[in-house]
Structure 1
């Protein structure tokens, strides 16, 4: 079935849900970053949401629609590496529902603590996201919980609200770079661009240590790829989602890959130039823009700082000379 992108009016209705819980996030042109890239760089600060990442927007919209269509729902379950889980826990707490979140062993300690603080019942299972996801699906059936997927149209509707903020503020962007995990971010960017009738190029960014979406984009078919990234948890996708991949294949202008070392360099530049903390996936868009180099000279570029949730010990190592 063809995935239908959210319309302008649907994104506007999602914004009403989002803004009941949080204000719009800012977008700034940080001069040191613009100077470093030789382009006009606009940074969208999704690290300033109540959970430090863009995912909360999708969680709020999804939960509102769930209660509308299934008012008898009492509990939900999902799998995550962190930001999606925080968004689910934040939204369910506002709605009075119970949330169970499954994470892989070795997941971020600070992400786990944040999800527990928001009231989630946290379960550790598996060594990677896909194993956690499959276990969550089994638990959902066993315990009669509603399984929240990592990709869904209502999640995309919510996430698209931040892209509408950026595109409305800066409608003449030549290109935006969007990190890809399970795909809600890039699909939301495409939905907002198309809803506003803009010509901005949308380029997806994957980890060079998790190439599923890039290989699939290049070969025009779904391909799995092993995950070995050590810094970009939010991009640690082994199996592309069918719905988001369809949108990427139809509408993305390109998909590029950045290494862990390139991401670390981008995290460090973000901190030294703006004193904002970026997690690995949160800095991937800047890493891709740095990689593009002279191709962006004189261009107007939009980059989401899509999340700032990184354990302090890991971040301290990134900042070391």
Structure 2
């Protein structure tokens, strides 16, 4: 009888501890076109207690992760099974994760990645004009940590940066980032913050606001940091015809100065900024092959 009473008391304490968990849980069904999305909030764990089991999210649909300007969208392929790598996609200036989701052009790339078995996170990047800022990167780190708890993540992450998103994609692959990135693909990507700063007054004002500095120093410039910290896997697409992002001073210079020559490549295209030939089945195939080669180097 005494043993039963002790066991019952221990059980009661455990139940009270579980009831004491503060869990922020808001589940809803959101619609965008014909695609359903489920909001998956964070779980707060009381110190000293075991972390909750990894929750799975619906496959084949975009699931919001994070909130506000950090709001991102995660999609897990049905082929993921118990383990798959994650590709984080960073958006162009003035856009958002929702813009990427709704873009038929970007869908060519994301559909190829998902079909190849990669989970895809469309990043909010800390806002529409974050320009790869430390605050934006920190927010992305929190979203990445939350997203990778929601599926069978293999522990490997890759980055794909579009236009302004090139700054965030490259910075996430350098020392000091909140999570490791094994390789970066860039499409018409900004990577040199100083070049962006000097290119237009409107960009300069946005960068000043994003960084909270009147003149961000060189050690916050992803291109300078990449040259300083050695070569890494890069796949770079760009065009000398681009009048928005000077290819010779961004993607091309980065490739020549900081790329691992044994993997990836420099792909010179034609036409203006983010033209249709950046979002073809062939470009998507090259991106997938690049990440698959890196997966094979584990």
TM-score using structure 1 length: 0.32
Higher Rg of the two aligned structures:
2
Looking at secondary structure, tell me which structure has more helix per residue.
1
TM-score using structure 2 length: 0.34
| Larger RCO, structure (CA 8 Å, separation 6 or more) | 1
Looking at secondary structure, tell me which structure has more strand per residue.
2
